Chains A and B, each alone.
Chain A
Amino acid sequence: MFRRVWEEWKNKTLTSRQQRGSQTDQQASNKSPLSLHLQENLDTIKQLLGNPQDLIIRPFLIDNSGRACAVACIDGLVDTDLVHDKVVKHIQLLMSPAGKAIPASDEDIMTFMLDEVLSIIEVKTGSTMEEVLDAMLVGDTAFFVDGSNKTILIDSRGWETRGIEEPVSEGLVRGPRDGFNENIRDNTVRIRRRVRDPKLRFDATHVGQRSKSDLIIAYIEDIANPNIVGEIKRRIATIDIDQVEESGFIEQWIEDNFLSPFPQVQYTERPDKVASGLFQGRVAIILDGTPIVLLAPVTMGVLLHSPEDFYERWMVGSLARLLRYVASFLAIFSPALYIALVTFHPGLIPSDLAFSIAATRDGVPFPAVVESLIMVTTMELLQEAGLRLPKPIGQTVGIVGGLVIGEAAVSAGIVSPVMVIVVAITAIASFAIPSYNLAIAFRMIRFGAMFAAAMFGLYGVVLAFILMVTHLINLTSIGVPYLTPLAPQLVSDWKDYILRAPVTFFKKRPDMLQTKDKTRMKAGKSQ
């Protein structure tokens, strides 16, 4: 019933937002044309941008003709060497090539500049002040000539970017070392280098009313299911916020159910992960300014996979996966099971162990629930604190947490040693989950399971499990059921689910994404 309310609400807001979107389009069409006078144009620019310190306006004369012209750009966003070498220098020292005279008319001089003088690949002309400003703000240089109401916008983007580094959040033992960075162009390059397929599509758009961030929807046209691509595009088109800092905004805007603790879009900073996603028929969403690329749709299984499963041999990969499923269970349920067993069903624990747990808990003032809450919360605090601190201090936090809290809490009689073991297992298990956002979801559910266990013991734990599965089975990611291929059952996809079959077995693409091109191997085509 929840879902229904949410959908109604979402539909309502979406339509109203779309209406609003079309209004802004109409407003945008009233644009101010450029003036014929150079100085006037330059003044307008200064005025509109508030004459900032990083605005460079360089008026000069065209060689031989004495005609006034100017370039305008924003310092830091442009490659100044390029503007100097290929624009200002060329025009100032203009030798009429092949004896051609420099045209005198206002129209012709622009064409002449474009065709003969400016030796730069990416140039375009503009005629309105809005175009000029938009271009300048992304790093283009605007070239004006006195007497023309056109401008040439030269692509001179060149700013300092972070180099290509190893992805911090997703380390691998075996696999490529490069990661995405904050520059969208670098990122598309990383993808193109891996997907040399003419059908690779980079559909560009802007998001954010004010920030106007570049966004690219990448997919392989003859693989990805058009319904999925269309749905993602539709949802992105509804985005209506003024500023998009990070792809997290996109994720939260396009996800199916905002009340679910589970991530419905995958994120990564590994180009190899994106490339393999594209080949499976998924869609990547790349936002300028962040190294985090989104992949959708996603299922629970995919979030528990790591690229290494494929880079290592299939047995290693399968076992690693199996281990991760066990880890997921432990990460969610081990404190809950501890509570249930210790306070409700000590009969299930082998006698000797039961007696020794009872002995170690002798003198612990809190009930097992409170004890677990204390320890689990402490662990969360440690994790959060270690995350925010610079690396060298982060290690200190680890030492303080591990030694002081663990050891001291036990000897102070606040918690029992068994509890420390349980918390340690929980923490280690949740670190073994390859997707950080899924691990966070598990951490949240862990508390729910603990409360259920505190109320009803094992019965509560099972109810929590059932509730979780019921939720998951109703959950979708861009319309793809979250538990595919388990439910709905797509047996052919089980090769790459809990276990990972040898690579030679993957004759077809996963059925769950209903790709257009279903085969991966030539051998598969004959079938």
Chain B
Amino acid sequence: MGMNKSWVRLLTAVLSVSFLSGCWDQVQIEERGFVIGVGIDLPASKETEKQTEREAPDKPKGKRRYLVTHQFVVPGGLVSASQGGSGSQSSTSDSFQNLTSEGDSLYEISRELAVRTSRSPFYQHLKVVIVSEEVARSPNTFADVLDYFLRDPEMRRSSKVLIAKGKAKPVLEVRPKTEKLPSLYINSVAENTNQNARMIPEVPLGEVYEDMINEFSFVLPRIVAANNEVKVAGAAVFQGQGNRLIGFLGEEETEGLNFLTGNVQGGLLKTKVRDNLVIFNIKGTKRSIQTDIRDKKHLRFQVFIECEGVIAESFERLDFMEQRIIDNLQKTVAAEIERLARDAIRKAQKQMKTDVLGLGTHIKQTHPGLWKQIKEDWDHGRNLFASSDIEVKAVVYIRNGGSVNRTEIR
């Protein structure tokens, strides 16, 4: 039975494979260091750099050094906090741990952490990447710091990227009352776009990659930390050429930008009727653009914004059952939208000279031939964007006045 012998041999091979292989990739879940947030800063002092230079003068060196903060979950802390100390650890233990390390490569820093913590970093649950203003402002650095996060297949494309006004580290150090993990807290705050028009929609890592690869300029959400709270409002404007941070749009301007790009899902608009406030609750917007490309030097754009919503609050006792009043109110709200939009245009077009309004994209889609000609001179070079003419027209539909008409008779 020669056949049987070959089988025995095969079986032995299989068995030895199974016993030898054992545990290449086996890492117990409790031994993983779940990294949920990463903050990237530039180092404040040159001390570590000098020290490294002394130790190994010939070592290849990057142009820039980074100070990277990793936020690790401490699972034991999560449980003991919720179950009142049934775990073996002390119940006062934190549910997260921030480790900061300096180096000129993000991968190097990540590996260095393994020396400092018992749990090697594991990025598959990475929720937020926070890049400091400083890092983003330096040319090409933004793409450099994200390279590792995009290249490693372990990373997820849905991690959100936010730009910190100031340093990134303090953002990861806030201790919110509602959530145990700062990164998860930031993550859910950044998702509240349908509540407020002053933040731009969350931008996942995968989308940032698209933005960086494409020639267009783009915006990322801005985050500010203060008093154990964060505020995700405003927008960081990136120039498509070099993917460099140009500046920030304030909250009002961001709102205007959102109207111009059609990204408002919710939020409010304040208007004044006879010295009293009337608050309009936005339920949705639609945007369309018309272009006039006869003169390449002075392209003309007309942005139409359609917005619908309901009345949220009214300090002026208006009769919302009357069409005339509604019509007037609609016009007032429309004027407010146009004001916001114009403010945003002024900032983007005149000050920053950077097209974050999506006009370049629009030309590319509707007039691909023209786009090929002006591509190089759009919002850099001769900057045709800055010299183009942008008009805004808003239409508002008030769908209803709420459950009651007037709260008191005056």
Q: Which residues of A does B touch, CB under 8 Å?
A: 1-2, 4-5, 342-344, 346-347, 351, 354-364, 367-369, 451, 454-457
Contacts and interface: CB of A to CB of B under 8 A. Distances in A.
Residue among B29, B34, B75, B154 with the most chain A CB within 10 A? B29
11 contacts: A5-B4, A346-B32, A355-B73, A355-B78, A358-B29, A358-B34, A361-B28, A362-B87, A363-B30, A363-B88, A368-B28
Given A346-B32, A362-B87, A454-B26, A351 B127 contact: yes
Contacts of B21: 455-456
A455 B22 contact: yes
Contacts of A360: 79
B375 interface: no
Nearest to A360: B79
B4 A359 contact: no
B79 A455 contact: no
A373 to B, nearest CB: 14
B124 A346 contact: yes
Interface string B2-38: 0110010000000000100111011111101010100
Contact of B156 (A1, A347, A364, A451): A347
A369 B26 CA distance: 10
Given A347-B154, A361-B28, A451-B18, 16 more contacts: A346-B32, A351-B34, A351-B125, A354-B34, A355-B75, A355-B78, A356-B75, A357-B29, A358-B34, A359-B75, A359-B79, A362-B76, A362-B89, A367-B23, A367-B26, A368-B28
A439 B175 CA distance: 52
A367 B26 CA distance: 9
Nearest to A350: B125
A99 B281 CA distance: 120
B25 A358 contact: no
A367 B32 CA distance: 13
Contacts of B7: 1-2, 5
A348 to B, nearest CB: 8
B29 to A, nearest CB: 5
A4 B1 CA distance: 12
Contacts of A367: 23, 26, 28
Nearest to A357: B29
Most A CB within 10 A of own CB, among B18, B21, B75: B75
B57 to A, nearest CB: 40
Nearest to B33: A358
Contacts of A343: 26-29
Interface residues of B, number: 32
A454 B122 CA distance: 19
B25 A457 contact: yes
A415 to B, nearest CB: 13
A57 B330 CA distance: 117
Nearest to A339: B26
Contacts of A4: 3
A346 B29 contact: yes
Contacts of A354: 29, 34, 125
Chain A, interface SS category: helix
A354 B78 CA distance: 12
Contacts of A355: 34, 73, 75, 78, 125
A454 B1 CA distance: 34
A89 B21 CA distance: 82
A359 B28 contact: no
Contacts of B29: 342-343, 346, 354, 357-358, 361, 368
Given A355-B75, A358-B75, A359-B79, A1 B3 contact: yes
A351 B125 CA distance: 6
A451 B34 CA distance: 26
A347 B26 contact: no
Query: Shortest 7 CB-CB distances between A and B: which pairs?
Result: A347-B124, A359-B75, A358-B75, A359-B79, A361-B30, A351-B125, A342-B29
Nearest to B7: A2
Contacts of B36: 351
Given A2-B7, A359-B79, A347 B125 contact: yes
Contact of B30 (A1, A344, A358): A358
A438 to B, nearest CB: 25
A454 B30 CA distance: 16
A475 B156 CA distance: 42
Contacts of A5: 1, 3-4, 7
B12 to A, nearest CB: 15
Of A4, A343, A358, A363, most buried by chain B (CB within 10 Å of CB) is A358
A451 B21 CA distance: 11
Given A1-B7, A346-B124, A351-B36, A359 B78 contact: yes
B30 A364 contact: yes
Nearest to B83: A359
A359 B27 CA distance: 15
Interface string B38-54: 00000000000000000
Interface string B287-316: 000000000000000000000000000000
A356 B79 contact: yes
B73 to A, nearest CB: 5
Interface in B97-155: 122, 124-125, 127, 154
Contacts of B124: 346-347
Contacts of B25: 344, 457
A82 to B, nearest CB: 58
Interface in B187-201: none
Nearest to A8: B3
A471 B122 CA distance: 38
A457 B29 CA distance: 13
Contacts of B32: 346, 358
Nearest to A459: B25
A369 B1 CA distance: 37
Contacts of A368: 28-29
Contacts of B78: 355-356, 359
Residue of A1, A5, A347, A451 with highest tally of chain B CB at under 10 A: A347
A362 B26 contact: no
Nearest to B183: A351
A344 B26 contact: yes
Contact of A346 (B76, B122, B156): B122
A360 B29 CA distance: 10
A202 to B, nearest CB: 42
Contact of A362 (B30, B34, B154): B30
Nearest to B19: A455
